[in-house]
Structure 1
């Protein structure tokens, strides 16, 4: 009987001890987690550029954070994310984090911020090779990679472009995006093509035309873009081109010749360039539109190409203040050329409005 009593006492004491150990362990883990939440891994902290790939599991993200020294415990970090309802909210991108931040701030940055974004401004009227240089300078890939992308048959086919390259369809815009780890130049080409077709629906709200009609519009819009220094004149200049094409007249557009001379054009348009029949973009000798766009036009030029101003003008010449003088007859045009070009004040002459 005494043995049984001792046995029961021993069992009781072991149970109490086990309870104390379990309670102590639970308290210790709670204390550990509280310390984890309240303490940054390093003081002072250091900046870390941290990348989250699309579709990456949260457990992988937490493990990568620990490897970078941004958190000290993956389990506690996952528990924090679950409690905050953000276990599946991490965004893909590149984030500028710090080892001096507490876990709550790390989680907030990964789930609420846009991350490190590159701002790339591509203005209207650039050729694809000028755009390539802009992107390279902005850190969005190299120019050679962009050149390869804009002429990639697979990429062009994906957007229904049956031309030799994407000239004209690289939509001018200010883009905010995170450069991918690999081939950012191709990403930019795709993003700009998507933006073109998004805007094209504003030009053709009833539905996009077939590529032949779209290409003709983009070519004409590119001429309007390059010839317009005063944005209010786009529809009027479009009307001039429409009138000349309707009458079978030569377009006689200097920017088309310049485009045909390519990236090495030195800025000096010579008389021999105006008579060169070898240049397929020479609209002084070849009738109709040039074989392709000469730049990427903006939305306003695309709209002007589709909706030209109705008038009888056949000529225009730059006034030297960014605007143009429009003429109905060759005689009137020649007088305007003498006034605004031959007798111009070279010190005050400018091609665009302030």
Structure 2
């Protein structure tokens, strides 16, 4: 009996890790699904992509940086934080991340983005994004609690956004996530609880409550809450659905909408390609391509993973050929500003400027004795 429970527990651990992006594959259509969705549905995604999807609506952080009103600034920034939850409707499995695996983004709204898988046990990723308006730094780490047919996921990492104009620092604490029907039924994800974004510079904050899904789907996706000043007095009411849009309206001390004001939409989910079956926006499809990659791509970039190419060709045996090894036990990874210097060195290296990026051999920094681990640039 004990042996049976142990085997069951190990199987569930693998299943849960797979769902969260630590093992297995996610089968989707990465290139838009306009004409050949079925043929391309065998391509894979990777875990670093979750970070990147926050950058789809980076214009909200640009507006937050430009905004004079400190409370409206939090409206823009918190709406940006909510925007990524649209992707939570996708419960397919991405590839198992590899120590030292990186991802870079260029050619999108002036943003430079870099992320890396910095630990395998426990799974941890670190990311940094920057443009003329903001910097974004995240250490992603999770704790989980298995509850039979469901799983509670608690974020224990750290997310910070710095708005450059005034040097405002925003700290984000996301709500927990619940993965339902792990064993029986169709798997789906909900995030009941509070999201809190605090302006560490002024003490203002926004508290948004993600409604739990009730019977027959009642209340699912709904979000509401307030922007508070440092004295915890409500200033702005926010309402919406995390899979559709968010709106705001000035409110009185009781939290009621002010007379003579109206609700204004601040964010709406982007369009998806016609007949797309996987709920991917145009941006989500785009990030799997080399169009968003630097001309001189790092050999550790996720786009180059041989198991991803093997999956496209139907060779599933490649999935286990690259294994991960432990990498330290840092709790928070901090970007130290050396990425620009390192990228300049790569770009100025000898060689042909225009190369077939897909021909570069995948090589995570962690496994190369003659290359500087990219993690050092993030610590």
What TM-score comes out, normalization by structure 1 length?
0.20
Structure with greater strand share of residues: 2
- Structure with higher Rg: it is 1
TM-score normalised to structure 2 length = 0.19
